[in-house]
Structure 1
Amino acid sequence: MTSAPRRLFTYLPVPLRAPLAALLVGTSTLLHVPVLLVVAITKLLLPLPAIRPRLDRALMLIAESWIAVNSALIDAFTRTRFVVEGVQGLRYGGHYLVFANHQSWVDIPVLQKVFNRRIPLLRFFLKSQLFWVPLLGLAWWALDFPFMKRYSRQQLARRPELAGRDLAVTRRACEKFRHIPVSVMNFVEGTRFTPGKHAAQGETYRHLLRPKAGGVAFVVGAMGDAIESVLDVTVSYDVGRPTLADLFADRIGEVRVHVRERALPAGFAGGDYEADPAFRERFQAWINGLWQEKDALLDTWAAPPHPAAGPEAS
């Protein structure tokens, strides 16, 4: 599937276009977030089983509207071509575990654009510090995004009891997710790709960082058989690793997104990654195998096209 950009504002010079895009994105945020908060606070104050599903649905509709506006602005302000494969047959009411390689902050609006209204709202596990981002932190809280507290080795050495808190947050969030349509999103590498990080990890993968299986395994263990399938997503840009400024300055020519729906391997649901070494080894081998396939796919995208055979080839 290839989307056709509408290009309404691409005739404007970048010094005018980029600030206008930022203004419209900000305006959309200011319009959507207060409504989200009103509904979320109503749900908090009136935890009645009869109305809670309606309020949850209202929150999803508001979030989907917000994402749709941002996606329309990408189409209106850029000539970026989106080449998307593998989204046919996805279910809006499903329970998905979604994971992807992490190239750039642009990954998030790209994934939201690709999946909005195709599958349930993508929910990310966020660093606890992001709660304090103006407006956005409250919006993420209203949408039940789990906030994780990261502890340094020094903190864990002084207070070993802190080691299990992230797992407890994961379990509480996933228990809630078992009962609603959901797409739990995880950037398995744990951080954005940079040449420095890649060099420090050696030559295991040409285009990727090493996957960290633990976070995905905790979600699988907590949600168990509530996960219907896994969406394995590969994202690539023709300009390497662009910034959000590159996106609205129209410096990204093409985004490629490949989605492969996979079954969760038998025996993984409910597995104990921490306490079961055999399960941990199987899970790591599965994730590493997927990352090898993803690296090979990125290799084919990076390779120059072969000239056509025969006398007409140039």
Structure 2
Amino acid sequence: MNIPSRICETDLANEPAGQASGPGARALLAAIMAEEPAPQEHPTGAAGRPGVRRGRRLLIAVTTAVATVGVAAAVAIAVGLPGDGPATSYANAAVSITRADDDYSIAFTQPVRDPRLLEEAFRAVGVQAMIKLVPALPEHVGLLYGPHFDSPGWRGNITMETVEPCPAGSTCATFKMAGGSPDSLVFGLGRAAAPGEPYADLSPVHVGRYQSALDGYRPDGFDPHGKTVAAVRAELDKRGLKAVYQLWWNYPDGHFFSSSAPAGQIADGWIVERSRAYSSDTIEVTVVPGPEAGPAPSPSPRLHWWDVP
């Protein structure tokens, strides 16, 4: 299919919201419909006689979708073969996905504001994916989290490559998914958290996690790592911030895990391992328990952003 280069994204972006009737959309549709496959000779007709069978036509779907935070129309293009299952490629304003046999390439290069656009694209190529809106730090709103998958029988793998340049407020990356797709694939999309609402416990794609930061993900001159709980509590009081606590349990075999604990169980002399922004007014402080804390308990699972309804 040969779509003229003169039909560009700006032509389509200026279309009336929710319509495909403007000049750009009409030009695109005309270019698509002009591509008629040439007749192909078929060895035999229905009764065993020589006949002509028309080549299977590429299925091109052109739709418009209105983002929830804007009025610009987005054009989605799917390519596949009728009756042959999912599309082999799909692209809209949020993502571009191509499929070759059991391998997928998933490219994010633009800001994503409507999770339905992502789910629509995955569904078109036959991937069962869920996009969850997760509470995020202000600077992480609109960024992608994950992916997380839970499919014990799946033997494939997912790798990620960065894409540059990248618009502000976007996650720009290409995910390669080989060996088919897992039964359950979950991406997170950062949304503005309500005052006091806990943020997602893990950072978005490409965003480093400053383990020693006291304010969000940015070091600001005060390093809690290695300080006593009393010193960190005093600093939090000075800043008008509250604290929640995790105990960092280490096992003789080198394994470790953390568990939540009330402030009354945290001794002032214990040492802080790290911290992170928990919500708009609270810092999560991870502490190494002293000997008086007793033996480490049995590990227990911790809820992550993909577990929260």
TM-score by length of 1: 0.26
TM-score by length of 2: 0.26
More helix by share: 1
The structure having more radius of gyration, on CA atoms, is 2
Indicate the structure whose relative CO is greater, using CA pairs within 8 Å and at least 6 residues apart.
Answer: 1
